[in-house]
Structure 1
Amino acid sequence: MSAEHGETAGPEANAPLQDIRASDTTAKVLLEAVIAMSSHLELHSVLARIVESAATLTGAKYGALGVIGAGGVLDDFVTYGIDPDEQERIGDLPSGHGILGLLIRHPRPLRLQDIQAHPETSGFPDDHPPMKTFLGVPVRIRGTIWGNLYLTEKEGGFTEEDITLTETLATAAGVGIERAQAVADRADLAVLSDRERIARDLHDNVIQRIFATGLRLQGVALKAPEIAEQVAAAVDELDQTIRDIRSTIFELEHRGGSSLRKEIREVLRTYIGILGFTPTVRITGPLDTAVPGPIREHLVAVMREGLSNISRHARAQSAELELSVEPGSVSFRILDDGVGVTEGEPLSGLRNLKRRAHELGGTFELRPRAGGGTEFLWQVPLAR
């Protein structure tokens, strides 16, 4: 549909900065926005700055960034221009229906002169501010759709230049989001390491000292029967303290929300002792947001099976794990330096890996590496 009818696909998403014919002020705002996104380390701060910058650059009154989760619905929604009181009156955040759902299903720039006139519109909740003009642009990370930028209420409507500016900002936003996610992953790993260290210290040092103290007290009671009752009460309190510490250790080891990255780390930690070495792990792409639940379950099981095969058959000294989310697919690769694929090896595990891949429309390969070792590659599409 042409721009006169209120809708356009716009130019390519990777439009370079030098192609934007904007005023010096607009270029300055855009540059400041890119620098600010690069300097923020916390993901929500990056998202908020993206939305604010997009609204400022285009002159939109309202803005939002929707993060697409499993099943193609929005699992996060960061807004600009709506204060907390208004948001509370509006109620639940959008999940991705109507025009927002259209942009999820067809990820290309969408410009409307009147959002209410579009056949896909589903209207607004009660107490929602009136909105007419609309511009939506997808945000990509390494070619995969991660979310969408939504802008509304620009006087006179959005222009071709607005589309170009917003696409350029969305391209820069993808880089900033990926960087913030990487920082968050490193922080999560540091927190998990600290929890493990604290739990280990509590178990190896504190509990043992308390236990030894209890034994000494019981020895004192044998030598001084007149205080045996008081000593017994003190020992009971020490026993309760040990139980409380063990509960704390359990909480430290199991605390934290569910995410695919965390599940992968937990599987890896389980096998480090079995393998006798720590494999290197590389993760690229929006793993937690792009991989749906059913594939996620298969992926964790495949990782377990792959590491189990190395521990039982490969006699490897090192291994590299690569998890990659590309446009339309997710792949899991293991490279080891073991003895390679041998004749007569049990095939039940390999058949299971092939079955899992086939059920999802994907492939599985196990082949010798040049120079020794084995390459394990399991790859499936994200949608069928």
Structure 2
Amino acid sequence: MADKPPYPRHGLTPVSSLPIDELLQELASRVSEVISGRERLRGLLDAVIGIGADLELAAILDRIVAAACTLVDARYGALGVLDDSGGLSEFRTHGMSEAEIAALGDLPTGRGILGHIIDTPEPLRLPDLAAHPASVGFPPGHPPMRTFLGVPITVRDKAWGNLYLTDKREGVQFTQDDEDLIKALAVAAGVAIDNARLYGELEASQADRERLLIFRDRDRIGRDLHDLVIQRLFASGLQLQSVVHLVEPPIAAERVRSVVEEINGGIADLRAAIFSMHQDPGQHLSATVRGLLGVVRQQLGFDPEVAFTGPVDSAVPEAVRVEVIAMLREALSNAARHSGASRVAVSVAVEQGVLTMTVTDDGCGIPATAPRRGLANLASRAEALGGMFTFGGAEPSGTRLEWTMPL
């Protein structure tokens, strides 16, 4: 019986038959392969952990592209997100400078090789992009690219997007191992993307619940103000009006009438405040302004004029919108209670990143002896937003208030 070999055969040259230098070289090669494989697996694990460490979708997409480039040593990477019609709704890139991205102009629409992977959602490795039948070339300003690896990303068994990697460094081609690594990364990416979308839905749902609670609290406060405060003030005003004819000294009667007017003004202010409490934070500024003018109309006795210029509904942040409505409410209340005006005009304009609001009336103007506390409050509100408040006379008579605030 022949002696059994001292090692199992796997199609490899027996190490005992190799010269010592070739033996050392072969062993070094095998060790290098083992170490390289372990490093790549560790890199894949780090990438999977990294992309799952964030719940914001945009950040996850950027992490996926960066991790893919690192894993297979690609110079450039991109992630295309598919829309409902099968085109590209978003395109995240890695490896190109801002100047190179700007030079490309519009985002890809899904033609050429990108369109081929969209239509055929399977991994694709190419030694030369230009040699593929679906290639349509690069637009002006696009950096040169040759080798290519594309892998689809699925979320819940539905095509969601594609990973594109080009120009493996040192001019070599992408390998089957590279493809396997990116396919594994794509699976993890699909899970991370799905988690981010679910988190976004839950966050939106929670925000809606909190918003509903806020509106319920505002409704309760509004009802309490109306039922407990406004009605009592109204009743007090009626009682004073009923006894004013019994007051003999004219100066005393005038003071009673003045108190009645102040009560009526306070009622109007409360109604305007209640209106502001019930405004939807997502409502357009123009609609909120018109609604406030409708409430103040009862106090003024006529309809104020209003004009809008520029993107007042899209360019004004929520924090500024809230302050603008508060300042406008105070200005209109002052005009109704003190100016004796027969005309009030409101202008809201957004031009070159600056919001300008003016309120003018044809009343008696601001007396020199009038307290400046209200005006100081209007100025401090504007200054808190980095803006400015000015006031003065209007032509031919009356008052002009103006706010300017950067957006």
TM-score, L = length of structure 1: 0.56
By how many angstroms is 1:249 displaced?
A: 6.6
Per mean C-alpha deviation after superposition, the further-off stretch among 68-77 and 116-125 is 116-125
SS for the counterpart of 2:52 is helix
Q: Name which of 158, 167, 178 aligns with 2:183.
A: 167
Q: Quick one: distance in 1 between partners of 2:54 and 2:47?
A: 11
SS for the counterpart of 2:202 is helix
Partner of 1:180: 196
How has the CA–CA distance of structure 1 residues 216 and 130 changed in structure 2, closer, same or farther, with 3 Å as cutoff? Answer: farther
Per mean C-alpha deviation after superposition, the further-off stretch among 141-150 and 57-66 is 141-150
Q: One-letter code of the match for 1:169? A: L
Q: Percent identity, please.
A: 39
Q: One-letter code of the match for 1:230? A: E
SS for the counterpart of 2:90 is strand
Partner of 1:362: none
By how many angstroms is 1:233 displaced?
A: 2.2
By how many angstroms is 1:220 displaced?
A: 2.9
SS for the counterpart of 2:64 is helix
By how many angstroms is 1:132 displaced?
A: 1.8
Partner of 2:113: 99
How has the CA–CA distance of structure 1 residues 35 and 249 changed in structure 2, closer, same or farther, with 3 Å as cutoff? Answer: closer
By how many angstroms is 1:237 displaced?
A: 2.3
How has the CA–CA distance of structure 1 residues 250 and 39 changed in structure 2, closer, same or farther, with 3 Å as cutoff? Answer: closer
Contact kept, 8 Å, 1:199 with 1:249, in 2: the verdict is no
Q: Name which of 271, 276, 290 aligns with 1:244.
A: 276
By how many angstroms is 1:236 displaced?
A: 2.0
Q: Quick one: distance in 2 between partners of 1:169 and 1:79?
A: 17
Question: 1:209 and 2:224 equivalent?
Answer: yes
Q: Quick one: distance in 1 between partners of 2:211 and 2:149?
A: 45
Q: Quick one: distance in 1 between partners of 2:58 and 2:72?
A: 22
Q: Name which of 100, 103, 109 aligns with 2:123.
A: 109
SS for the counterpart of 1:39 is coil
Per mean C-alpha deviation after superposition, the further-off stretch among 75-84 and 105-114 is 75-84
How has the CA–CA distance of structure 1 residues 217 and 88 changed in structure 2, closer, same or farther, with 3 Å as cutoff? Answer: farther
Partner of 1:367: none
How has the CA–CA distance of structure 1 residues 86 and 216 changed in structure 2, closer, same or farther, with 3 Å as cutoff? Answer: farther
By how many angstroms is 1:247 displaced?
A: 2.8
Partner of 2:236: 220
SS for the counterpart of 1:248 is coil
Partner of 2:328: none
SS for the counterpart of 1:70 is coil
By how many angstroms is 1:60 displaced?
A: 0.6
Alignment deviations for residues 326-346 of structure 1 (CA, whole Å, 9 cap, x no partner) = xxxxxxxxxxxxxxxxxxxxx
- Asked which structure has the greater RCO (Cα within 8 Å, sep 6+), the reply is 1
Question: 1:37 and 2:69 equivalent?
Answer: no
Q: Quick one: distance in 1 between partners of 2:76 and 2:271?
A: 59
Q: Quick one: distance in 2 between partners of 1:95 and 1:40?
A: 28
Q: Quick one: distance in 1 between partners of 2:99 and 2:225?
A: 52
Alignment deviations for residues 267-318 of structure 1 (CA, whole Å, 9 cap, x no partner) = xxxxxxxxxxxxxxxxxxxxxxxxxxxxxxxxxxxxxxxxxxxxxxxxxxxx
Question: How do residues 260-275 of structure 1 correspond to structure 2 at under 5 angstroms?
Answer: none
SS for the counterpart of 1:40 is coil
Partner of 2:216: 200
By how many angstroms is 1:22 displaced?
A: 5.1
Question: How do residues 20-99 of structure 1 correspond to structure 2 at under 5 angstroms?
Answer: 23-99=37-113
Count, aligned residues: 232
SS for the counterpart of 1:153 is strand
Contact kept, 8 Å, 1:202 with 1:249, in 2: the verdict is no
Q: One-letter code of the match for 2:221? A: V
Q: Quick one: distance in 2 between partners of 1:65 and 1:27?
A: 22
By how many angstroms is 1:59 displaced?
A: 0.8
Q: Quick one: distance in 2 between partners of 1:22 and 1:68?
A: 34
Q: Quick one: distance in 1 between partners of 2:42 and 2:192?
A: 18
Structure number, greater radius of gyration: 2
By how many angstroms is 1:97 displaced?
A: 1.7
Q: Name which of 151, 160, 173 aligns with 1:137.
A: 151
Q: Quick one: distance in 2 between partners of 1:209 and 1:122?
A: 69
Q: Quick one: distance in 2 between partners of 1:44 and 1:30?
A: 20
Q: One-letter code of the match for 1:51? A: V
Q: Quick one: distance in 2 between partners of 1:211 and 1:122?
A: 69
Partner of 2:206: 190
Q: Quick one: distance in 1 between partners of 2:262 and 2:101?
A: 60
Q: One-letter code of the match for 1:188? A: A
The unaligned stretches of length 5 or more in structure 2 are 1-33, 241-255, 285-407
